[in-house]
Amino acid sequence: MEAGDGTCKETVYYSKVIVMVEKKELLLCGYFDVTKAAIESLESDHMEDLLRLLDVREDLIKQMNLLDQDHGSVITNPTIKQLLGDIQHLDQLLVKRMQEKKKEIQSKLNSIQQGKQLKYQYSSRYHNMDGIFYDKRK
């Protein structure tokens, strides 16, 4: 109960921490891969895939947050720090590409809207109706 139990409890605790660290590393690797796939989907205009991948990323973030909450603090080590740095770079790239795509789509929408306005301006506002006009002045 004394020396042996303390060592056993410490061993169990450290084993749990090691498992949590490994799980977080796996989640971060998955997040990294999904982010790369999201960038590729965005560049190839596969928007349905992009939305699905963004949902997967959100789920991975939730899992990592739960893992950190279960541990009581943010789980980190040199490998996790390196992964976070790489992910940060990819996230910035993804945001940049999404902003570019948004501008591109906005530009297309504006040109369509301008085309509609021009069509409306130059189209006849009065329709030629078949009929007879009676001039009542006389």
* Span 63-89, pLDDT tens digits: 999 998 888 888 889 999 999 999 999
Q: What is the pLDDT of residue 76?
A: 85
- Structure-model confidence comparison of residues 117 and 52, the more confident one: 52
Q: Is residue 133 part of a domain?
A: no
Q: What is the pLDDT of residue 130?
A: 64
Structural domain of residue 84, as residue ranges? 3-119
- Tell me which residue of 57, 58, 21, 41 sits closest to 101, measured CA to CA: 41
Q: Is residue 135 part of a domain?
A: no
Q: Is residue 22 part of a domain?
A: yes
Instruction: Average the pLDDT over each of 17-21, 55-59, 61-65, 124-128 and give the range with the smallest value.
Output: 124-128
Q: Is residue 124 part of a domain?
A: no
Q: Is residue 17 part of a domain?
A: yes
* Span 84-137, pLDDT tens digits: 999 999 999 999 999 999 999 999 999 988 888 877 776 655 555 566 666 777
- Tell me which residue of 74, 111, 89, 72 sits closest to 36, measured CA to CA: 89
Other C-beta atoms closer than 10 Å to the C-beta of 87 total 17
Q: How far apart are CA 25 and CA 80, in angstroms?
A: 6
| Domains identified in the chain, total number | 1
Q: Is residue 72 part of a domain?
A: yes
Q: Is residue 102 part of a domain?
A: yes
Q: Is residue 9 part of a domain?
A: yes
Q: What is the pLDDT of residue 1?
A: 42
- Tell me which residue of 63, 58, 40, 62 sits closest to 50, measured CA to CA: 40
